[in-house]
A and B are shown apart, each in its own frame.
Chain A
Amino acid sequence: MAPLEPYEKVLIDTDFLDEDEDVHGQVSCEKCHGGNPESNDYKTAHEGMVKDPTYPDPSKTCGECHAMDDEGGHPEITGKYKTNLHVTLAPFKNKIYLRADPDTCVRDKIDSAMGTHCMACHSSCGQCHVSRPESVGGGFIEGHLFQKTPPVETNCTSCHGSRVGKEFHGENEGISADVHHIEHGMTCKECHTGDEMHGSGMSKEPFDRYEVANRARCEDCHKMAGSEKTEGDKQGKDLVHPDHAIHQGKVSCQVCHSMPYKNCYSCHVGKDKSGTPYFGTTPSKMDFKIGLRPETTEDRPEKYVTVRHVPISPGLFDFYVKDALTNMDKAPTWKFATPHNIQLKTPQNETCLACHGNNKLFLTKEDAEPWEVKANKDVFVPLKPAPSVRHAWLEQPELHLKKVDCLTCHNPSLQSPIRDCQQCHAKDSVLLTTAERTPEYSLTNWSFTNKELIEKGDYVVGSNRIPALDVIGILLIILTFAGCAIHGTLRFISRRRK
């Protein structure tokens, strides 16, 4: 996003003053911004002027009209600003406080540092609908004309750019854009509606952004096949694949459908010799890790989730106060994440074994620095033995894993997986998908039974047989024994005669 020239940032489009173009232009400037409109000198004209009158409290500006769900059609918006995380950035502070030394002196210094470095990234009504966020330099989006939907580039991804924006638009090397964007032309607002953006409306401020009651959810659009749809449901593809029935409630959607995403490491903030604030992170890495969610809820029961490393380190605030984060163990540094590069087919969902038993996908102690091991102890996934070991009770486990579709035994419609060999290795094998059992077993039949399996390239002992060969085999055995018996009898008789 190209920065604006200083004059461009504050140039008002005359259309703004046209009632038909923007009703907000009918309100005098000083009513919202203050200042002295009588003065012709820019210095005195700007005395007492408020650049963004909508931050932090928009109730006296936007709230004049947008506070009540009135008959004029203005939805209740500004009333929710106190729980609007774009305004409060509460989770940011909550997570730092969890890790911080409880000493008030230390906390004051942390507050000061966060005020300089972190809390400037907030937004407001104005910094979404009128101008670019201050944290990226500000400036009118379109000559002060109010934008009902904030533009993606100047507003959404100007803050959510390095991770979400690049993932969604496919700007990470070798990784395609999110299928919702590239195939369906969706932008941020299709999932993150105005209702969500304007605040949760919850009586208590959410501790974490994933606790927001009206947040975007995949299941808002994607219903399980056959489930009832209510009027107003958004239309996404139904979840028809049987894997959904198996993994639903246990595994988050992103575990199967997201691609590798950016992880950030370390962070330290300070001021240089001229007093200009700076920050530094170590180079980010593209990776994909499945971890455990330490605390599941009824609302979000999935235990296995994608986790992203957040940019934090014990020395984050060392410039301001040494050893400020004495409780680093209180919050994981590998944090539940919802990457925005969703694909229908991903390397990990190609086959069951692409994920099950693929230990490098799972977050383990080896992925953590020594100082963060304890913090992530509940996120690490205890690795299970390789599938071949877990299926060692089978005859030829490797062959079974290679040739048999996992869903044959791990059938979602069954309460427990099939462990009885006879279910497959029998005349009425469960491997058969057609109702016909052709050809019928006949002693004179020279072709395979359950031909369907042979045609698929599989030979299943006990299920595929040539009945006539069975008869010949049995006859040969009988004849062998009979030959032995006759031979023995004759030798016995001849010996007695001698």
Chain B
Amino acid sequence: MKQAETVLEARNLSMHFGGVRAVDGVDFTLSENELRCLIGPNGAGKSTFFKCLTGQLRPTAGEVLIRDVNVTGREPHEIGALGVGIKTQVPNVFEGLTTEENIWISARRWHRPARARTLTAETVERLRLGDVRSDPVGQLAHGQRQWVELGMVVAAEPWLVLLDEPAAGMTHEETVRTAELIQEINSTATLIVVEHDMQFIRMISRKVTLFHEGGILMEDTMEAISADARARQIYLGHRA
């Protein structure tokens, strides 16, 4: 088996809120070109862990390294400037701006005006947002807003993509399309996807990290996790 380069690493990462240990001493590594899913029941700490990676939260202890650069406690824009594309759990879009303007803001961060314009047009096509390109994003349906946000992530042409619940609240067709998109993104970038939707994870996953009570319980394929008694009890058991 060839040894892929580690692109993201968390060392003994902890995030405590008062007495609550949301994330407690997590060690985590991600290799280049991987597509990793983070799962776990509500309150397992996966979103908090995600926010520590993206700079939205400053961890209580431990460190985060992206391509061997220590980014612990850096501002979100500094992490973005490393070429990391981030989609948050609660959709963060520019409500009053149109679909095109939203995506242009992202493309223009990295490119000259002419390239930014073509990249915006390409991204709108790629996400099938052509019909709503001139509509304010605040007026779009929930699934489309999620795609606008994905479009902003994609238009920045990141090499590392962190997605928090990209398929939340989507219809089945939208979820399938999002899964396709994620596979597509994975052809050029390494991904971490935090998800709740088991069906969706089965569509995209190779390796899954299961969070439980602020720590990593196990790391394996979805099949292996589904078969594991402990995992079934704490998480999948809810579905039985």
Bound pair: A and B?
A: no
List residues of B whose CB falls within 8 A of some A CB: none
Binding site for B on A (CB under 8 A): none
